[in-house]
Structures are given as C-alpha cells and as structure tokens.
Amino acid sequence: MDVTVQEASTRTLSYSEAIREAMVLAMETDPTVILMGEDIGVYGGAFQVTLDLVDRFGPERVMDTPISELGGAGVAVGAALTGLKPIFEFQFSDFATLAMEQIVNQAAKLRYMLGGEASVPVVFRMPAGSGTGAAAQHSQSLEAWFGHVPGLKVIQPSTPEDAKGMLLAALADPDPVLVFEHKLLYKMKGEVPAGHYTTPIGKAAIRRAGSDLTIVAASIMVHRAIEAAEQLVTEGVSAEVIDLRSIRPIDHETILASVRKTGRLLIVYEGVKSYGIGAEISAMVAESDAFDFLDAPILRLGGAEAPIPYNPDLERAAVPQVDSILAAARRLANREV
Amino acid sequence: MSMTDNRPFAIRTYSPAQLKQALKRMYLIRRFEEGAEQSYMRGLIHGTMHLSIGQEASAVASCIELTDADKITSTHRGHGHCIAKGADVARMFAEFFGKETGYCHGRGGSMHIADVQTGNLGANGIVGGGLPIAVGAALSAKRLGREDVTLCFFGDGANNEGAFHEALNMAAIWKLPVVFICENNRYGMSTSVERSTAVRRISDRAAAYSMPGTTVDGNDFSAVAEAVHHAIARARAGDGPSLVENLTYRWRGHSKSDRNRYRTKEEIEEWMGRDPIVRFQAELVAHGILDEAEASAIADAAVSDVEQGIEFARGSAAPAIGEVTRYVYAEA
Ligand SMILES: Cc1ncc(C[n+]2csc(CCOP(=O)(O)OP(=O)(O)O)c2C)c(N)n1
C-alpha cells in the first residue's frame, strides 16, 4: 500500500493535533469508531490529545473509563471483536502493564485461536518515553515488550504527518495495533496533509540519505539521530538515518539495503539496551547476506540498564542524547574491522 | 474515659503532646505543599507533583497512633502521608530537588517518596499499586509474629482497580493486620466518584470482602482518628482488616497540568471553608489543650522547618551521573 495523499494541501500541526485530526476524521466517517480511556472527556486526556472531542462527539463516543486499565482494555477488545472500532488511550504506556493480560493473552491471540474466524480491530494509544521528570513508573519505553508478541502490530510515529497517517492506517487495520507516542513529541510541529490518507504500517522511512554509516532509530531518537548526522557532515562523515516507524512488522529490506550501501550500522533506541530493538535488528542483519557488507561490528545505543531516574541529569544520562549518538557514530565511522 | 466525658475522641484519647505534634504535622504538610508548589513554579524542580492541601486531617489523624515499626503504603499524592508518618521535611525537599541527600537519593522524586526508617514503604506512581503491597507487609507481621499493623492509603479512583479487590479479598481470607484507608476526595483526576463507582459509599465495598467498612468526615481530625483507632485495634487483636473511608477534598488541581474544568469554583470554595487545620486548631483551643499563642508558635515553627528544608535541599549535592545504574541491584 502506498502513501496516498488525497488532498495536496498541508498545514502545520503539532503531533498531538495531528493525532486528534485523525481521530476526528475517523469518527466523522465511521460511526463505529469510539474513544475510551481515563479522563479523555472534559479533561482532554493526560496530554490533552483528546481535547474538546467530547463536546463534538458526546460522552457515548468519547467515554471516560474508571481507573481500570485491565477492564477498560478488555472491554475495548470485546467491543472490537463484535463490531466497534475502539481507540483505547492509556494515560501512560507504563499502565499497559496492568492490562498485559488483555493485550497479550486476548487481543493478540484471538484471531489465531479462533482459526481466523474473528478479528480484533482495536487501537491502543500509548504515551511513552522519558524526559518529563515523571520518574520510573511514568517514563518507560516498553515497545519492545509488545514487539515480541505475534498477533500485535506496534508502531512509533516520529512526525506529525506520520502520527496522523499511521493512526488512520491503524484504524483501517483488522488487527490490534499499539501506537507508541513519545510524550516529548506531542508539541512538535510539522507539515501535515489535510484530509484522509494512510501511512503504511511496516514500512520504514529514509529520513536522510548517506553513504558512510547507517543509523536506525525510532520515535524521538530519529530527531536526535538527524541532529547528530548533521553534525557529522561537518566532520566529513555521511550518515544515513532510517526512521523505523514500525517495529512489528519491521521493514527488513530498507535496513538491509542501507547496510549493504554503508557497511556500518548503529541502532539507537530509548528502551533499555539489553533484549531490545537493537538486539533484534543486529541479529536480523547478522543472519542476512548484508552481514558480508559490514566493515565494522554493529553498534547498539540504548537506554541504561536501570529504571528511569527522577533527577534531571540522571534522567538525561539514562537514554541516548544527541551527543551520545554523535560519540557512538564517530567511534563506528573510525572503526576498522 | 468517664461516662460524662463527651469531648471529641481525639481530645479524650491522646496526650496534649501528641495532639500538639499532630497539629504541627498538619501545618508542616500545608507549608510543605505550598513550598513544593512555589519551588516548581520557580523552576527549581522538574516533573509534576500532586498536592494534598486540604487533606491534612486524613493523613495525620490516621497515623497518630503509629510507631516506626508500623508500616504505611502511600499514593501518588503522598507528601502528607510521609510527613504524618514522621519524615523529615528537609530530606523530602532534597528528594524533590533530585539530590543525593533525598530519601531516595534523587532517583524517586515526588511520586516515589518513601522513608523506610519510619515505616513508610513508599508513595506510588501506579494507582492501586500499594494495595497488595500493604497486604504483603501485613502478612509479614503475622507470619513473623510482630505486632505491627499496616495502613494502606489510596484514593477513590483506586477503588476501581483490580488490585483493590484482589488485595481486600486476600487480607480478609487471611485475617491480616491491615487497615485500608480510602481518601475519597471526590475525583480521580477529572472523573467524579459518581461517574466512576457504582456504589454510593466506597466503604460499602467492604461488605463484599467481609470486613467492617465505615465512612467518616475526613476533615474532622477526631472522627478520622476514632475510626482508624478501632480498625487498628481490630487488626492488632488478630481480627483482620477494615476499610475506612475519609471524605475529604483536594484544594488544588490533580497535578500541575490540571485545567480544573470538571469542578466549580463554588465547590472548591465551599470545601476551603471546611479547612481541617483551622477546625482542629479551634478544637484544641476550645478544650484548653493550647492557647492561641502556642498555636501560632506551632504554625511558625512549621514555616521555618519548611524554609530550612528548602535551603538544605538547594545546598545539597546532586547524584553523580556515573551512578545512574546504582541501586538497581544490591551492592556486593
Ligand atoms: C494504573 C494507573 N492508572 C492511571 C494513572 C494516572 N493517574 C494518576 S493519579 C490518577 C487519579 C487517581 O485518583 P484517586 O485514586 O482518587 O486519587 P487522588 O488523585 O484523588 O488522590 C490517575 C488516573 C496512574 N498513575 N496509574
């Protein structure tokens, strides 16, 4: 499926406005789309993403749930199984841990267990990531956990344009989709096409072409990687930056093609480094023919092996920043086999 | 206690020293919260915070009988509980400021404040997260033959989490020494109890778990103290858990990002008129426990403790960046 932009005109919107616009479009055109979540009505959601939607669509379609993540997510799964298309918002992706059972044991497996006779078109919206000083229980990057589960789709849009297009794609998808939205991106502005369009799930984007090394990143790390790449140009190093956009399914081909071209691979992600997205991509490259093109060992730059700390300097040190990406890229660029 | 003594429960039951300390702690909570709010607005601390201004009686009256051996579990709105349990405001401020001298060495912050030495097992960023933990603490006391009880604070919003129901059931079947204290301040973030909870009184839910449930005016120090006193006595006697619901109100928004669109100014003002500190102080004066001059000395002492606490926090050192993974595991 290609990116189809039906109306050419674009406007500048913030990431959260883009998400809201996708929800409005979907709700206007499809009466089965409903929103569920804690304080998404008059409060507008913990990050104000659903602001004013209750005024527009009423409390029957913009449903405040009690603080009951397991129950709420499960109700969304049941509704999706039987004709509605719920978008369930977790206030923080961290609280999906309370709903793990319904997401992992039910939503992910129902189609399979029922031999393809049923479908669960539910969308879970997940504000994720660190940088807000909210500490260990409100700052995690748990996308890799869900990436491990067959039956789920897991996306991490990094721009307002993708946030809208990928949410619309998620709504059109017959399977459960988890959308990880980085909290620090909500206020980020960008050009967003008007009208209905979808950005395909499972397709990475090359954000910056380069020839000396490949940086694969996701979510907010894409922006940090681009900043690092721009700095590298002044040092005579040309880095290609790939925005994963989707971690399940993952776009093997775009990554492998880039590695064949550059011969060096750095993977940058905010989640804890071990057992994460970096391990998956490294192994995938090592198992492929692209391995023969590598001029240096693959490098992973992930989050510290610790919960996210409260102190702002520790918090910054716990996840990749532009300077740490830069340092890793320099090491990789200068490294001989 | 004689038959003719119809003074409020707290006045009859506790010593003047205990009552004065309770008043001081209520003032400390109020001033602490204001200090935290101002520090945040001046950009001295980052993140968010949930202030418990207006709920001081619930925290302090619930904890008045506890010793350091007794435990509490707390919530995201946990500063008041921490002070009520006897924590030092300087080390609490140090935690907010993210300093190594803070109770959690700068790793926890407002939402994870704890003071294990005084039996505070911690605030919690997860609504309902503390409920099963409190039951576990009570299990330890029972199995290890200790006398201590655990007080488990949670909000009205938390009573809809699965953890609430699972925790109450286990506490009841095993007759554990735990007191569940619901601070019903009428809202879980923006969602009122009426919109979130099927029963009219949260204490009604106690019946489903075969334990006593009572609802009291949470801004009336003595009413809270009395209800919790009976629940603690029952727990210490080996008769199992109780549920106490304190009806109270938070004057401030849910957190720093609250636009307060779900409640009216009139409602907030009405509750501000039921200030639990003013009420408790007036009661102490009326019963001759202290005079106005002593009361203002107690209030002033709280102000200077908080000022000194902020100074201590500002002057303390931050954790070393290289120690970002310290405290993840026990050190060899
Ligand atoms: C599991 C979980 N879900 C949601 C939240 C977000 N949240 C934090 S506090 C809160 C409201 C809690 O209300 P209540 O239990 O009544 O306590 P109060 O804030 O009124 O003291 C919510 C929804 C959270 N921290 N944890």
Which residue of chain B is at minimal alpha-carbon distance from A307? Answer: B328
Report which residue type is found at A14. S
Chosen from A60, A272, A314, A323 to mutate, greatest number of chain B CBs within 10 A: A314
**Among the options A17, A69, A181, A315, which is catalytic?**
A69
Chain A residue at shortest CA distance from B323: A314
Task: State the pLDDT confidence band at A4, using cuts at 50, 70 and 90.
Answer: low
Burial class (CB in 10 A: 0-12, 13-18, 19+), B138: buried
Q: What is the dihedral of CA A126, A305, A184, B314, to 10 degrees?
A: 130
d(CA A61, CA A245): 29
Query: Which H helix or E strand runs over A55?
Result: helix A53-57
Give chain B's length.
332
In a 3-state reduction of DSSP, which class is residue B175? coil
Which among A17, A38, A89, A138 is annotated as catalytic?
A: A138
CA distance A212 to A107: 42
CB < 8 Å to A307, chain B: 107, 328
Q: Is B186 in the pocket of ligand 1 (CB under 6 A)?
A: no
The answer to whether B152 and B181 have CB atoms below 8 angstroms apart is: yes
Could you tell me the two tokens for A157? Answer: 């849009």
What is the separation of C-alpha A1 from the centre of its chain, rounded to a whole number of angstroms?
A: 19
Q: Which tens digit of pLDDT belongs to each residue from B40-64?
A: 999 999 899 999 999 999 999 999 9
Pocket test of ligand 1: the residue of B189, B192, B245, B252 to mutate, having most ligand atoms within 8 Å of its CB, is B189
Closest partner residue to B191 (CB to CB) among A66, A70, A138 is A66
Which chain B residue's Cα is nearest to A96?
B126
Q: Smallest Cβ distance to A39: which of B98, B110, B191?
A: B191
Residue A103 vs residues A16, A36, A93, A275: alpha-carbon distances, Å: 24, 15, 12, 20
Atom of ligand 1 nearest to the CA of B159: 15
Average pLDDT over residues A74-91: 98
Count of CB atoms within 10 A of residue A291's CB? 14
Instruction: Dump strand ranges (E) for A186-228.
Output: 189-193, 205-208, 213-217
B-chain residues within 8 Å CB-CB of A64? 190-191, 195-196
Q: Which residues of A touch B258 (CB under 8 A)?
A: 43
As a whole number, mean pLDDT of residues A24-41 equals 98
Question: CB-based contacts of B297: which residues, under 8 Å, 6+ apart?
Answer: none
- Which structure tokens are listed for B35? 């200090």
Distance between CA atoms of residues B60 and A252, nearest Å = 59
The residues with which A126 forms a beta bridge, in sequence order, are A180
Determine the residue among A38, A43, A48, A321 to mutate to test chain B binding: the one whose Cβ has the most chain B Cβ atoms within 10 Å.
Answer: A43
pLDDT above 90: percentage of residues in chain A: 96
Nearest one of A42, A48, A49, A106 to A72, comparing CA atoms: A106
Name the pTM for this structure: 0.95
Cβ–Cβ under 8 Å, residues B229 and B9: yes
Q: Residue B15 has what pLDDT?
A: 98
Tell me which residue has its CA closest to atom 20 in ligand 1: B188
C-alpha distances in Å from residue A50, one per residue of A56, A77, A136, A209, B263: 11, 20, 25, 36, 19
**Is residue B1 over pLDDT 80?**
no
What average pLDDT score do residues A17-22 get? 98
At A87, which helix (H) or strand (E)?
Answer: strand A85-89
Distance in angstroms (rounded) separating the CA atoms of residues B201 and B247: 10
Q: How many CB atoms lie within 10 A of CB B66?
A: 21
Can you tell me the distance from the alpha carbon of B305 to that of B311, in angstroms, rounded to the nearest whole number? 10
Cβ contact (<8 Å) for B125 and A42?
A: no
Residues of B in contact with A319 (CB under 8 A): none
State the pLDDT at residue A1.
44
Say if residue A69's pLDDT is above 80. Answer: yes
| Chain A to chain B Cβ contacts (< 8 Å) | 131
Partners of B181 in beta bridges: B153, B244
pLDDT, position B317: 98
Which residue type sits at B291?
D
**Across residues A274-301, what is the average pLDDT?**
98
Q: What is the dihedral of CA B284, B289, B293, B299, to 10 degrees?
A: -60
| Model confidence band, residue B259 (pLDDT cutoffs 50, 70, 90) | confident
Average pLDDT of the residues of chain B: 97
Token pair 């070393």 in the structure block, residue? B320
Kindly state the DSSP code that residue B83 receives in the 8-state scheme.
Answer: H
Nearest chain B residue (CA) to A318: B324
pLDDT for the residue numbered B13: 98
Nearest alpha carbon to residue B149 among B164, B127, B171, B117: B171
Distance, in angstroms, between A318 CA and closest chain B CA? Answer: 7
Task: Return left, alpha or beta for A209; rule: phi > 0 is left, psi -120 to 50 is alpha, else beta.
Answer: beta
Contact A180, A93 (CB under 8 A): yes
In 3D, which of A181, A99, A91 has the Cα closest to residue A141? A181
pLDDT above 60: residue A194? yes
| 3-state secondary structure (DSSP) of residue A304 | coil
A69 labelled catalytic: yes
State whether residue B108 sits within 8 Å of chain A by CB.
yes
In angstroms, the CA A244 to CA A242 distance is: 6
Residue B255 phi/psi, 5-degree rounding, is: -155, -170
Taking residue B133's Cβ as centre, other Cβ atoms within 10 Å add up to 18
CB contact under 8 A, B106 and A46: no
pLDDT tens for each residue of A33-52: 999 999 999 999 999 999 99
Asked whether the beta carbons of B243 and B300 are under 8 A apart, the reply is: no
pLDDT of res. B8? 97
Type of residue numbered A101: E
**Contact between B189 and A43 using a beta-carbon 8 Å cutoff:** yes
Q: Left (φ > 0), alpha (ψ -120 to 50) or beta: where does B5 sit?
A: beta
Catalytic, A138? Answer: yes
Question: CB distance from B143 to chain A under 8 Å?
Answer: no
pLDDT digits (tens, 9 = 90+) for B95-117: 999 999 999 999 999 999 999 99
- The verdict on the CB of residue B76 being under 6 Å from ligand 1 is yes
**Predicted confidence (pLDDT) per residue in B302-328, tens digit:** 999 999 999 999 999 999 999 999 999
User: What confidence category does residue B332 fall into, taking pLDDT thresholds of 50, 70 and 90?
Assistant: confident
Higher pLDDT, A56 or B260: A56
Q: Percent helix, strand and coil across chain A, each rounded to 5?
A: 40, 20, 40
Distance CA A328, CA A217 (A): 13
Tens-place pLDDT, residues A109-140: 999 999 999 999 999 999 999 999 999 999 99
Contact call for A314 and B324, based on CB within 8 A:
yes
Residue type, A222: V
Please indicate whether residue A69, judged by its CB atom, sits closer than 6 Å to ligand 1: yes
User: B107, B165, B194, B205: which to substitute to probe chain A, counting the most A Cβ within 10 Å?
Assistant: B107
Closest-lying ligand 1 atom to the alpha carbon of residue B127? 26
**A177 three-state secondary structure:** strand
Sign of the dihedral defined by the CA atoms of residues B141, B145, B146, B151, in that order: positive
ipTM, 2 decimals? 0.93
Side-chain half-sphere of B47: how many Cα atoms within 13 Å? 32
Cβ distance A309 to B257 less than 8 Å, yes or no, reads no
Q: State which ligand 1 atom lies nearest to the alpha carbon of A95.
A: 1
Using CA positions, which residue lies closest to atom 11 of ligand 1? B188
pLDDT for position A5: 53
The chain-wide mean pLDDT, for chain A, equals 96
Q: For chain B, what percent of residues have pLDDT higher than 90?
A: 96
Q: Give the separation between CA B1 and CA B17, rounded to whole angstroms.
A: 18
Q: How far is the CA of B127 from the centre of ligand 1 (A)?
A: 5
Which numbered atom of ligand 1 lies nearest the CA of B126?
26
